[in-house]
């Protein structure tokens, strides 16, 4: 900011970082705005990369840290010559948005009042264009401008309203919240790749349970996860409780700095739709359980990615977690040991454990067995397997299995 200022430009910190500092939280990143154009910014910084199509931005790279520097954005209405500047589609959604403007215009174009505060190092003041301070004092999420117009311009703002309310423990004002249920369907027009990024922020921000419940109450989950519609209508069902429990665990892990993977969450969200679909396929087309499950896995993921893109590196893990749910019950002979070395054993086991908590019965017993087995020493493991054989009806089954060519079977397992 000093370098921009010294070169004769204005520059400010804006958005989430100013808001979070005012809330006494530490910002997760810092966004800068300036009246310098992207090209002028590039001229001042060797470590500058220009990025973006919808929003053209400069990234200033400091080692592993990136500071996003944007040029003030102006209004997208027609200019005096009648030329269309910003482009909108039939639903009022902005498709291109690269008009530079003044700081006042930039502030009006931001989403919430608490996100339109600008901090300057020229005089160390905060300029508050939209009563953001007041919103912070009242802990209110309040959209700038006419809510319906703003949601139509960019439907993702509906998700952002809920995200900030949940994460910052604020309430959405009626003016800002009331139009959401009616406009929630507009999320179907957002590219699946952008929605993937947004859902990560929604569910992996440490307030996933609260976010999920508020999304549900505003009718925002249906356009994101059409396959969950039936389940969500029964919040006390074990299917719904399972999702809440996984989100709860995820929040706990994030808030204690443990690693989380989106794959686990998506595997959980789609687990019961998968089971239902697999059963239906089995009943309707006489497929065996194994084939039905495989086909259903592919189809459930395929339906989901129509709305929210799931990168391959995650969808393969989702399927691994699902397949393990069917392999973890089959422990005879060397299988139990092979499963322990499966690269996704940990995720599969954790998943089974949550299912066990919710489903009880056999699933809980199986999860407990694995809890013990993985921590047991070799003699204890052997004993557990012997015991299992006795409980499951004598030694006949495993012995029969062992007669088959061992190499071939383990290949098939892998």
Helices (DSSP H) in 204-311: which residue ranges?
A: 208-217, 221-224, 229-232, 238-255, 262-269, 271-285, 289-305
CB of residue 31 vs Mg ion: minimum separation in angstroms?
5
Contact 262, 204 (CB under 8 A): yes
- Residue 198's binding partner among ligand ATP, Mg ion, none (Cβ under 5 to 8 angstroms by kind) is none
Active site (annotated) includes residue 111: yes
Contact status: 16 vs Mg ion (CB under 5 A):
yes
Residue 377 a catalytic site member: no
Of all residues in the shown chain, the one whose CB is closest to ligand ATP is 16
Residue 155 as a binder of ligand ATP (CB under 6 A): the answer is no
Marked catalytic residue, from 97, 111, 128, 251: 111
Q: Is 154 a catalytic residue?
A: no
* 111 binds ligand ATP, rule: CB under 6 A: yes
Task: Select the binding partner of residue 357 from Mg ion, ligand ATP, none (C-beta < 5 to 8 A, by kind).
Answer: none
Q: Which stretch binds ligand ATP (CB under 6 A): 120-128, 152-160, 215-223, 342-350?
A: 152-160
Residue 57 lies near Mg ion (rule: CB under 5 A): no
Note whether 221 and 243 are within 8 A (CB).
Answer: no
φ, ψ (nearest 5 deg) of residue 14: -150, 160
Strand (E) or helix (H) holding 118: strand 117-120
**Active-site option among 20, 31, 128, 251:** 31
Which candidate, 152, 158, 207, places its Cα nearest to that of 178? 158
128 touching ligand ATP, by CB under 6 A: no
With CB under 5 A as the contact rule, which of the stretches 11-19, 136-144, 168-176, 311-319 interacts with Mg ion? Answer: 11-19
Return the SS3 of 226.
Answer: helix
Report the distance separating Cα 407 and Cα 93, nearest Å. Answer: 58
Nearer to Mg ion, 16 or 206 (CB): 16
Complex with Mg ion: residue 16 or 219, whichever CB lies closer: 16
Task: For residue 23, state whether it binds Mg ion (rule: CB under 5 A).
Answer: no
Neighbour order of strands in the sheet with 11-14: 48-51, 57-62, 65-71, 31-34, 11-14, 117-120, 125-128
**Assigned token pair, 399:** 């012995």
Residue 110 binding: pick among ligand ATP, Mg ion, none (C-beta 5-8 Å cut-off by kind)? ligand ATP
Residue showing tokens 């397992």 = 413
Check residue 110 for interaction with ligand ATP (CB under 6 A): yes
State how far the Cα of 197 lies from the Cα of 308, in Å rounded to an integer: 9
Site for ligand ATP, rule CB under 6 A: 15-16, 28, 31, 110-111, 115, 154, 156-157
> Would you please indicate which residues are annotated as catalytic (active-site) residues?
29, 31, 111
């Amino acid at each position: 900011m000093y370098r921009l200022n010294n070169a004769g430009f204005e520059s400010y910190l804006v958005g989430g970082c100013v808001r979070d500092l005012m809330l006494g939280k530490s910002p997760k990143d810092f966004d800068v705005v300036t009246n310098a154009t992207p090209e002028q910014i590039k001229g001042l910084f060797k470590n500058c990369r220009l990025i973006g199509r919808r929003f053209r931005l400069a990234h200033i790279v400091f080692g592993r840290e990136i500071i996003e520097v944007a040029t003030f954005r102006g209004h997208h209405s027609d200019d005096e010559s009648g030329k269309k500047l910003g482009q909108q589609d039939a639903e009022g959604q902005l498709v291109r948005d690269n008009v530079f403007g003044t700081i006042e215009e930039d502030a009006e174009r931001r989403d919430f009042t608490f996100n339109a505060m600008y901090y300057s190092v020229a005089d160390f003041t905060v300029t508050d264009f939209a009563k953001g301070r007041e919103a912070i004092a009242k802990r209110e999420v309040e959209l700038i401008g006419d809510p319906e117009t703003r949601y139509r311009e960019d439907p993702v703002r509906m998700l952002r309203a809920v995200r900030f309310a949940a994460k910052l423990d604020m309430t959405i004002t009626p003016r800002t919240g009331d139009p959401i249920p009616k406009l929630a369907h507009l999320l179907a027009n957002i590219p699946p790749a952008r929605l993937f990024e947004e859902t990560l922020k929604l569910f992996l921000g440490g307030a996933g349970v609260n976010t999920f419940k508020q999304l549900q109450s505003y009718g925002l989950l249906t356009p994101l996860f059409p396959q969950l519609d039936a389940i969500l209508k029964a919040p006390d069902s074990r299917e719904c409780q399972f999702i809440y429990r996984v989100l709860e665990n995820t929040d706990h892990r994030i808030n204690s700095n443990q690693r989380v993977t989106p794959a686990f969450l998506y595997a959980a969200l789609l687990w019961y739709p998968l089971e239902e679909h697999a059963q239906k396929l089995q009943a309707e087309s006489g497929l065996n359980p194994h084939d039905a499950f495989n086909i259903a896995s592919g189809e459930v993921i395929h339906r989901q990615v129509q709305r929210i893109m799931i990168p391959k590196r995650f969808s393969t893990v989702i399927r691994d977690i699902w397949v393990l749910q069917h392999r973890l019950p089959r422990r005879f002979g060397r299988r139990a040991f092979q499963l322990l070395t499966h690269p996704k054993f940990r995720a599969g086991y954790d998943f089974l454990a949550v299912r066990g908590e919710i489903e009880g019965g056999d699933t809980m017993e199986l999860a407990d067995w694995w809890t013990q087995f993985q921590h047991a020493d070799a003699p204890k493991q052997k004993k557990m397997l012997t015991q299992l054989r006795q409980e499951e009806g004598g030694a006949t089954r495993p012995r029969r299995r062992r007669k088959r060519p061992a190499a071939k079977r383990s290949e098939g397992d892998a």
